Chains A and B, each alone.
Chain A
Amino acid sequence: MLSHPARALAAATMLLGLPAFAEETVRISGWGGSEVAIVNGLLTNVLAEKLAKEGITVEYEPVDGDFSQFILNGLSAGTAPDLFYVDVFWARSIFSAGQAAPVTQDVSGFAANLLQAFTYDGKLFAVPKDFNALAVHFNKDIFDDAGVAYPSDDDTWTTLQAKLVAVHKALPEVDGLCVVPEYARFGAFALSTGWSPLDSQGKTVIDERFRRAFDFYTGLVESGAAVMAADAGQSWTGGCLASERAAIAIEGAWIISALRDGAPNMNLGTVRMPKDPKSGKRGNIVFTVGWSVNAASKVSKAAAKVAEFLTTEEAQQWVLEQGLALPSRTALADNPWLRGGQPEQMASRVVLEGLADDHVSPYFFGDVGGSWMQPINAALNSVFLGEADADAALASAQSAFDRMLAK
């Protein structure tokens, strides 16, 4: 809290049009990859003037490698940057340890479920900067060659599966989809049935709905609609799409930048996740990243200001129009760029629509963290490999959940 004379001084400097922060340096950090282009682009192309006016110098330190570990070590050692990325996947471990300062800016323009994802103990601890959700991306040329109708927004699990089987039948060297034994993809199917990862008592119950999704997903390989990504020499479903080994991929909008490098001439189409034929609903998983202010920062006000600048409508519009990430502000949902006919514009639009799917759950698993997914991933894997049947695999998953959540 500023004292009275300091407040008066701040007001006076603002009135005079002088920098509000007398040359403060804010260290910000996030992970590398395409994020470096986003942040550097924002700092130099969009925000340079604003920051100069506020008298804030930003030192950007992108980190390659495991960012959550970097930030955890930095925070515990007191060397962490003033403003940093938090992924909803591990954000809770930072928030619950009291290492992030609560957000004070007006957040009314942001998507409600993204704000919800970063709320802990009733307080918001990060400004969502962007998000991603799953969608079906497909190679139009493969479907044309096979003489099979494109996937559509109206597809259910079964109609999509039938199309994939037809593609593989017409073009034996191409598979419909590369599946991965991971909750991060399978989860969207399980959620569409109305199943919920953690029930009201904080327990995970593998019920008939989950079983239906499980049987469908693991049956994709046997039906000839899919192949395990590892058997196609790939580690993710997008790798198979890029190498034209598979007709579709189930990924977020991040696939666009991978395809830009790996398959720049692909005739790409994107539709929404298929519906559960029984419930008629769609499920999706939301991946989101926000900016958190270090609770121990000496320049926390300036850091909060930088976070605000980095997530303004203007900033997000620039990022969106570069095709780099999807905006967390709802006002940009009908930005003209999204209505364009370019594949990346369509893919972005569809992924953005995924945020409004019927059963959307953030990629986050309470205090248990990522190990919550282990039993499901192990069950999927053992059934895919033929090492266990669904009954045995799910029974062992259920007992693993019971032990894990009893703690």
Chain B
Amino acid sequence: MSRGSSEERSGWLFVLPFTISMTLFFVYAIIRTAFYSFTDYDLFKAPSFVGLSNYTALISDELFLIALRNTIGFSLIVTTVQTVLALALAVLVNHAIRARGLIRTVFYLPSIMSSAAVTLIFLWLFQRDGFLTAIVSVVLAYRRHILLFFAVFAALQGALVLNARRSYEGVSIFDPFFLLVAAFGALALVVTCALAGLLPVFENDLLISWLNTQRQFLFMPVTLWSVALMNVFTTVPTLMLLFLAGLQSIPSALYDAAEIDGANAFQRFRHITVPALRPVTFAVVTMGVIGTLQMFDQVAILGDAAPLASRATLAYYVYENAFPAGASSRIGMASSAALVLGILTIAVVYVQKSVGVKESAE
């Protein structure tokens, strides 16, 4: 037996387990789903062929259209925000000098919690008079204090930096010592004004419906914005880890050379870090798109805590048709919606690949 054919055989052996599971759980499942999408089937009676009527029913089903719009909006927002945040956090953690391990662990914590547990915690945080409402309420009540603090802080910092630049060259606008001095100065002034009774506190009795509401904000229900916040919180750490691995593979010689050439921190980030991280960014965006288009668990756990139309996503719509509460299964509708979701996912990933972030580094 030649060496080539034996190698070929071992190759096949290596991919065999994956091939079997893929054939069983993917190829077979997708063919069956495609078949059911053209039938009327309730899990019990023999499926009867109904042509394209499940698909036409989808288009005329208001809930499907809402779910489709919700899914696309959610995917767009969450993928963008989580990619940017993960990159920012990775750069931050990569630069941390002290307690780097601790910082990484703390940032990674949300990702190791189960999404069911996180959702339940957020259900509590999102209560109408809950923690998040309290934060907003405090910010509103002390808005004069906060505005004054930032105004004085910016003015002090500007004055200090301008003054220093008269004597020394190259004083950064974010000089850490001046930042500290400006912050203390601003704080002292705000406290003095508050004690002197010059700053009114706005009493408010806020109740914000984060989840249980039918209101829309921009193109998405408020409920899904809240879910997006929760989703970003749990996914960013994992994506941050990917970026961190990418950051550590960038040779430091590149940064040294750029620094000698006089590039500032932002220029180094823009022209070295971002292009070198392109393969990682591609993976992060692709995973983000797939994960967000198929988001199900978090809205399913919300259950009756939010109105159906405000939390329906395509994946949830599929489930809702496969197991409708107190009614017979509509497997045909569920299958056709599942196929639409699958095709949408592939299409979005393909569009992203051809016009968005490229797979290879420049």
Which residues of chain A have a CB within 8 Å of any CB of chain B? 66, 68-69, 72, 75-76, 89-90, 92-93, 96-99, 182, 228, 230-231, 233, 235, 364-365, 367-371, 374, 377-378, 381-382, 385, 387-388, 403
Interchain CA distance A378-B62 in the complex, whole Å = 15
CB distance from B207 to the nearest CB of A (A): 7
Interface centre among A231, A364, A365 (most CB of B within 10 A): A231
Pairs across A and B, CB under 8 Å, 8 listed: A75-B43, A76-B44, A90-B326, A96-B328, A97-B42, A99-B44, A233-B127, A387-B214
Q: Are A72 and B43 in contact (CB under 8 A)?
A: yes
Docked complex: B81-134 residues within 8 A CB-CB of A: 127-129
B329 to chain A: closest residue by CB: A72
Q: Given known contacts A68-B325, A92-B327, what 4 new A-B pairs fall within 8 Å (CB)?
A: A66-B323, A93-B327, A97-B42, A228-B128
B57 to chain A: closest residue by CB: A407
5 cross-chain pairs, A with B, having the tightest CB-CB distances, nearest first:
A369-B327, A370-B325, A369-B326, A97-B44, A370-B326
Q: Are A230 and B128 in contact (CB under 8 A)?
A: yes
Tally of A-B residue pairs with Cβ under 8 A?
A: 83
Q: Are B329 and A93 in contact (CB under 8 A)?
A: yes
CB contact under 8 A between A231 and B128, given known A93-B326, A370-B327: yes
Q: Which of B307, B325, B327 contacts A381 (CB 8 A)?
A: B307
CB distance from B336 to the nearest CB of A (A): 16
CB distance from A8 to the nearest CB of B (A): 36
Q: Are B129 and A231 in contact (CB under 8 A)?
A: yes
CB distance from B321 to the nearest CB of A (A): 10
Chain A residues within an 8 Å CB radius of B127 = 230-231, 233
Chain A residues within an 8 Å CB radius of B335 = none
Determine if B270 is an interface residue (Cβ-Cβ < 8 Å). Answer: no
Q: Are B326 and A92 in contact (CB under 8 A)?
A: yes
CB distance from A97 to the nearest CB of B (A): 4
Q: Are A98 and B44 in contact (CB under 8 A)?
A: yes
CB contact under 8 A between A89 and B326, given known A72-B43, A381-B214, A385-B213: yes
Chain A residues within an 8 Å CB radius of B323 = 66, 68-69, 72
Q: Which of B129, B215, B327 contacts A90 (CB 8 A)?
A: B327
Q: Are A371 and B324 in contact (CB under 8 A)?
A: yes
Interchain CA distance A162-B307 in the complex, whole Å = 31
CB distance from A387 to the nearest CB of B (A): 6
Chain A residues within an 8 Å CB radius of B327 = 90, 92-93, 367-371
Chain B residues within an 8 Å CB radius of A66 = 323
Q: Are B326 and A364 in contact (CB under 8 A)?
A: yes
Q: Are A371 and B44 in contact (CB under 8 A)?
A: no
